[in-house]
Amino acid sequence: MKSIQSEIRNFVADNFLFGEDPESLQNDDSFLETGIIDSTGVLELVAFIEDQYDVQVDDDELVPENLDSINCLIDFIESKLKELA
């Protein structure tokens, strides 16, 4: 089974990096500050999370603390999965 980190990294690379080297993206890099993901991209990212992990992302969870880097996403997804367990 793929790790959450590799699934997120692959999704970001395939959908947002557009030919840039995926290895150049660090797990703590801010998607918004680096310009990797814009507001529309956040919606695509949320749709991916909801589909991939069968979780519901609430409006009040659409904040950078949850969604703005690979590490933030890993923590957020793991906490959502624990809620379901």
Contact 13, 25 (CB under 8 A): yes
- CATH fold of 4-84 reads 1.10.1200
Residue in the structure block whose two tokens are 């603390």: 65
According to DSSP, residue 61 is labeled G
pTM metric for this prediction = 0.91
For 17-74, the pLDDT digits (tens) are: 987 888 889 999 999 999 999 989 999 999 999 999 999 999 999 999 999 999 999 9
Q: Nearest Cα to 14, choosing from 41, 51, 40?
A: 41
Domains in the chain: boundaries: 4-84
What are the residues whose beta carbons fall under 8 Å from the beta carbon of 75, sequence distance 6 or more? 66
